[in-house]
């Protein structure tokens, strides 16, 4: 499980906004770091945040079908 102090300093690599940490309920060394601005989630594996856009998961909802975030500055 990531330390809250660590989560606080982590930023989305795309918009540099804050990330919301959601540990896996079964294995807290895994989880997700969610950017609500970009609607993407970064994986956490073995307590290591994988802050790579290539590895990020899209959180696109049902009716919002914006294309995946692409260098929009
Ligand atoms: Zn973002």
Q: What is the pLDDT of residues 16-41, one digit of tens each?
A: 999 999 999 999 999 999 999 999 99
- pLDDT for res 71: 60
Tokens (6 digits) for 48: 């290591």
Please answer whether residues 60 and 69 qualify as being in contact, where contact means their C-beta atoms are separated by less than 8 angstroms: no
Query: What tens digit of pLDDT does each residue of 37-66 get?
Result: 999 999 999 999 999 999 999 998 755 555
Dist. CA 10 → ligand 1 center (Å): 11
Q: What are phi and psi of 40, to 5 degrees?
A: -135, 160
Strands 20-23 and 40-45: unpaired
Q: How many whole angstroms from 37 Cα to the centroid of ligand 1?
A: 5
Ligand 1 centre to CA of 13 (Å) is 7
pLDDT of residue 69: 61
């Amino acid at each position: 499980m990531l330390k809250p102090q660590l989560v606080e300093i982590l930023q989305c690599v795309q918009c540099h906004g804050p990330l919301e940490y959601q540990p896996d309920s079964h294995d807290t060394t895994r989880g997700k770091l969610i950017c609500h601005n970009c609607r993407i989630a970064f994986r956490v594996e073995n307590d290591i945040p994988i802050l790579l856009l290539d590895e990020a998961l899209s959180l696109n909802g049902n009716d919002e079908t914006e294309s995946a975030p692409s260098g929009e500055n």
